[in-house]
């Protein structure tokens, strides 16, 4: 994977992408999380790839402004890989939009888990251990060491992960394309993507009712009854209902505002 050397153009794109890798959390929203960061990170690559195709560039920019969430460091790996995928798409059309989206989604969950385990629970704890020891004696070096160890390691890791992501993507996709396994790969990626989306909906989308019906002396807690059918059935209903509406052509902005107003109105009647 390290055998293929990068051309100067590729190198300069990767360098520009690296410069944007700090934008991960800029304008983080609950709806799309790191989407804006991803768009900005992909921009240098898309600018070059779609130089002669302004419409294609706009479509690609929209494609990378979709829901995205992972660890800030492993983010670079996926961005590098996506660069390779976009390049394949432009150069020989061997990849379609859905495959790119599927691979991105499939990688979000695993990379988030790995990033948290390695950087948050390991590097940070070690760096803090070193830093606390020095700071206890009133030595500012503790703070500086913490920044250098925890922040510095992330910076270095980002650059290498970006490059690894790109070269892995290139060689991997080449092999897949040559052996005609692209369809098999797309299907595998969408299976993993689906599993991860299901898991993330289960843990991140919550619909809790505060609705109690009093019949005589007994009080019925509606939330418990609904959840006894299937835990979190309302969140599934919400997501699939929204999906139906989107497929019917409803704009996401309408849905977001609808949820906002609907929640307050329902809360007024004591349902939320």
Distance CA 47, CA 16 (A): 11
Kindly provide the b/e burial profile for residues 12-35, where b requires at least 16 CB atoms within 10 angstroms of the residue's own CB.
ebbeebbebbebbeeeeeeebbbb
Residues 6 or more apart in contact with residue 54 via CB below 8 angstroms: none
Nearer to another protein, 4 or 252 (CB): 252
Question: What phi and psi, each to the nearest 5 degrees, are found at residue 221?
Answer: -90, 105
Q: Which is nearer to another protein, 160 or 240 (CB)?
A: 240
Q: How far is the CB of 207 from another protein (least distance, A)?
A: 6
As measured in angstroms, the least distance from the Cβ of 33 to another protein is: 7
Residue closer to another protein by CB (options 14, 24) is 24
6 vs 272 by CB, closer to another protein: 272
What is d(CA 78, CA 257) in angstroms, rounded to the nearest whole number? Answer: 31
Least gap, CB of 91 to another protein (angstroms) = 21
Q: How far is the CB of 198 from another protein (least distance, A)?
A: 3
Q: The dihedral of CA 165, 168, 173, 174: what is its sign?
A: positive
Phi, psi angles (nearest 5°) of residue 25: -100, 5
**Could you tell me which residues come within 8 angstroms of residue 4 by beta carbon, excluding any fewer than 6 positions away?**
167, 170, 171
4 Cα distance to chain centroid: 28
| Smallest distance, another protein to C-beta of residue 9, A | 19
Cβ neighbours for 219, distance < 8 A, ≥ 6 positions apart: 212, 213
**Nearer Cβ to another protein, position 6 or 209?**
209
Nearer to another protein, 4 or 117 (CB): 117
The minimum distance between CB 138 and another protein, in angstroms, equals 5
């Amino acid at each position: 994977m390290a055998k293929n050397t990068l051309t100067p153009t590729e190198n300069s794109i990767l360098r520009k992408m690296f410069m944007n890798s700090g934008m991960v959390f800029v304008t983080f929203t609950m709806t799309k999380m790191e989407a804006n960061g991803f768009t900005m990170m992909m921009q240098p690559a898309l600018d070059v790839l779609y130089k002669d195709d302004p419409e294609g560039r706009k479509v690609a920019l929209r494609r990378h402004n979709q829901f995205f969430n992972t660890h800030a460091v492993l983010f670079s790996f996926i961005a590098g890989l996506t660069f390779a995928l976009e390049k394949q798409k432009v150069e020989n059309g061997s990849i379609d939009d859905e495959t790119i989206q599927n691979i991105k989604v499939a990688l979000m969950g695993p990379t988030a888990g790995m990033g948290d385990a390695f950087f948050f629970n390991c590097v940070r704890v070690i760096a803090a251990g070193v830093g606390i020891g020095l700071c206890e004696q009133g030595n500012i070096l503790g703070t500086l060491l913490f920044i250098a160890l925890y922040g510095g390691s992330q910076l270095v890791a980002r650059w290498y992960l970006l490059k690894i992501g790109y070269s892995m993507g290139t060689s991997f996709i080449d092999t897949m394309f040559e052996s005609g396994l692209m369809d098999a790969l797309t299907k595998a990626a969408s299976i993993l993507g689906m599993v991860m989306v299901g898991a993330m909906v289960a843990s991140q989308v919550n619909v809790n009712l505060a609705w109690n019906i009093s019949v005589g002396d007994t009080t019925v807690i509606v939330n418990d009854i609904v959840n006894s059918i299937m835990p979190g059935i309302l969140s599934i209903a919400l997501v699939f209902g929204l999906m139906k509406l989107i497929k019917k052509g409803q704009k996401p902005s309408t849905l977001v505002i609808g949820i906002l107003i609907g929640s307050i109105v329902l809360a007024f009647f004591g349902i939320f």
